[in-house]
Chain A
Amino acid sequence: MKKLRIDMQALLFLLPFLIVYVLFTIWPMIKGIEMSFYKWTLIKKLKYVGFDNFKRMFQDDQFWAAVWHSTIFVFLTTPTMIALAIGLALIANRKSRLQKLYRSAFFLPSILSVSVASYLGLFMFQPYTGFINGFLHALGILPEGKEVFWLTEPSLAWIAIAALTLWWTVGFNFILYLSAMQEIPDDMYEAASLDGATRGQMFWRITLPMLNPITRTILMLQIIASYKVFLQIYIITGGGPLDSTRPIIQYIYQTGFRKNDLGYAATMSYMLFAILLVLSIIQYVISNRKEAV
């Protein structure tokens, strides 16, 4: 009887979580499997189609192009994000009267709503009237009368999207690096400087190795987060020019809600799921190894 009472007590505390977890996470996961075997529209379930949706996915060039675009985004933003976050943390970690200003300035963009950040990017990168071209003119880098068409040239569009994303999201990783740097004991640097080490040597031999654990965590979380990219690209380029920047989630959305094909959209979501699952497992293994060391 006592055992049962304890079980009931635990259940009482777990129940609110379990209800929302089962209804809005577990159940949709199962529902998604069902949907991927059907022709399923926004209005209703139509008919069972077996593995047709899966076959179609593996032959769908547009889908794989979208997977590739999301992958480009991951490769563009992840290493730059880590380098930038470390650089900014180095700046904000130096003793200076402006230390607080630096910290606030680097984090402030992170609190903007994703739409605000994206529209700021869109308007800043406009040719003729945008701020960035105007600024380049003022500095004399861009000759008067010439314009950079950031958003209509695929490779430049990627640079614009990546730059905006870095500006908007680097704040979190910057804070993580800053607090990791402050954990490094001062005597390590003092001992090194007694041995005649230069500032550069201290950075490469002490700071960077000491940041290794947090870098591994940030690296994987960043990769996973970047695969979910959607709104910045949707607002800044609309997936264009000519679908050349369209990411996975935008293609899934358009298939489901514009082409009225939820069944196929659910199938492709499962592929995204699979990609993220593999990455999450890698992340889990890496972060557990960190504890073992």
Chain B
Amino acid sequence: MKWVYRIISLAAAFVFLIPLVWMIVVSVKEEGMKVSGTVDWFTPPYSFAVYSQIIGGTKLLQWVWNSFFVAGVVTILTVLIAAMAGYAMSKIRFRFRSVMFFVILAGLLIPGEGIIIPLYQVAKDMHLLNSYQGLIFTVLASPMAVIVLKSFFDGIPNDLIESVQIDGGGTWRIFLTIMLPLTRPALASMAILTFIGSWNNFLWPFLSITNDKFFTLPMGIPTLMSQYSEDYVKPMVINTLSSIPIIILFLIFERQIIKGISLSGIKG
């Protein structure tokens, strides 16, 4: 019985990993290789010639950088402004707070895909098409992050805040020295989800960017692929080059990423 479990488990791991192994192995094959059986995929000769061709001849590395840059800035800003808003909603007793809560809560129901056509028109009116600003600013509002972070701030006892106030500390000091440090796991969780969301955002860059200087990976990759549909080596080089940085990042931060996602399930 134990062996049955083990074989099923190994088979599942094999199925999940083999496409990635295949991608990497094919990417170091020689162009125009012959494939007549499964074994051919994995046998020499190997060559890195296509790598230098792609790196030198396309903007792929620029797009990898764009994707990291946009996702990084989006993540920092989204979490920061959501934390600020969540803090105000949780700990500052201002008037109209319940109205404000309702306005933000309603945002949970608005799907980005449902407003993307008018968003295009709005961005066009504001001259945000074809720019980093257009890629970044348009996606920063995350009502979900505000509400999740608010619920974490709610859990911080008011005594702590009062002790800072007695020391003469203002709202900013409370925010920076108590609120943010004490909710670090929640902030990390939001940051990870925002990063992955931005990393995979396709529809908005696809509609709003036409200059290939500003392409991100999800939309840049298809423009390269259409030229190389016959051969397997170039597409796999493109896939591998696009994936290596994020795979390395994942292996470094695996524990935090897994924890961040588990945490989002508890609040979700």
Contacts and interface: CB of A to CB of B under 8 A. Distances in A.
Given A6-B92, A228-B111, A115 B222 contact: yes
Interface string A82-123: 000001100100101010011111111111111110011001
A7 B118 contact: no
A257 B250 CA distance: 36
B20 interface: yes
A17 B84 contact: yes
B164 interface: no
B122 A24 contact: yes
The dominant DSSP class at the A interface is helix
The dominant DSSP class at the B interface is helix
Contact of B110 (A25, A115, A175, A253): A25
B49 interface: no
Contacts of A276: 109, 111, 113-114
Interface stretch (A54-62, A152-160, A261-269): A261-269
B180 interface: no
A104 B252 CA distance: 12
**Contact size class for B?**
35 or more
Nearest to A129: B35
A113 B113 contact: no
A99 B37 CA distance: 32
A171 B58 CA distance: 32
Contacts of B130: none
Contacts of B232: 123, 129
Contacts of A104: 251, 254
Nearest to A21: B141
Contacts, number: 254
Nearest to A134: B38
Nearest to A30: B118
B110 A29 contact: yes
Contact of B258 (A24, A103, A224, A273): A103
Given A115-B217, A116-B239, A27 B113 contact: no
A40 B117 CA distance: 11
B188 interface: no
B102 interface: no
Contacts of B46: none
A231 B218 contact: yes
Interface in B238-253: 238-239, 242-243, 246-247, 250-251
Interface of A: 3, 6-7, 9-11, 13-14, 16-18, 20-21, 23-25, 27-29, 31-32, 35, 40, 87-88, 91, 94, 96, 98, 101-116, 119-120, 123-124, 129, 131, 134-135, 137-138, 167, 172, 175-176, 178-180, 214, 217, 221, 224, 228, 230-231, 235, 249, 252-253, 256-257, 262, 265-266, 269-270, 272-273, 276-277, 280-281, 284, 287
Interface of B: 5-6, 8-10, 12-13, 15-20, 22-23, 35, 37-39, 41, 67, 80-82, 84-85, 87-89, 92-97, 100, 104, 107-111, 113-122, 126, 137-141, 143, 146, 171, 175, 196, 199-200, 202-203, 207, 217-222, 225, 232, 235-236, 238-239, 242-243, 246-247, 250-251, 254, 257-258, 261-262, 264-265, 268
